[in-house]
Structure 1
């Protein structure tokens, strides 16, 4: 069986009939913006024994864009134990459909986005200063680029580890516990 896709409106209607909505994004993503009825269960902590369906007739999974749910669809469907669906287009499509979300702009940006902003800024800084001040500054761009490659290959991102300890992220993590 293949997990079925639902439009945001169809998912909204199915929720009214008792379906359970599970948000599989990371905690920092969920804390900043979420669908009101969604239960949070990050993909890395999702197990068949912990899936909180509560006897629901169906489970609907979502992420930000729908990509993560599609990539993990066979596993999610196996864990559901009932009819399983994904919201086509995820949270982004839900918002475009004008359906309600809870936003907490006081929460920091998702860690992945912080890494992208910091790495991109350092690469641009290295390129600009390398072109205008000294070619040695191009090393900064090279080092950051190599760090990104290493993070992709190994799964360890030193920049993310540093950013987790920044005051805005420490305060956010403390309020989640």
Structure 2
């Protein structure tokens, strides 16, 4: 059986299993993570990140009857700079459609799912943390359980959205959880340091 590779360095796809950071993650259950009746809010820097970060959790919470709120901060159009096949214009349409299809395949009730698209410019969020915090804060309320990208995830858009989400959650009286997206790169990143 041929193993899938994570990147051009030839690292195996399961390399994140060797990340020492994962040794200290406590085991949790759904009810302690999102209490009964609480609304789960997933804040994604780009369309698709909500599925990558929390797809299984969204599916489980939906099946348990939790109200869900999704926020996609950008349209994800700058993910393939310089590509002739995937121009920013094409990606600005495709990436959100890709998210809708992924959520549909997870069985989420698209007709009742509350989903806000921020319209911020992809790959240009670093200087907009206060605007992001204000924007996100409009959609949060006390008792929400917020999930967003880890504040030390690596990509600048992920980190600033994580920081803004954390700040907005604190102001709203919501619970905040960091979710690492690029954790699979920890061992590789640690080797370079």
TM exceeding 0.5: no
* TM-score with structure 1 setting the length: 0.32
Q: Which one has a bigger Cα radius of gyration?
A: 1
More helix by share: 1
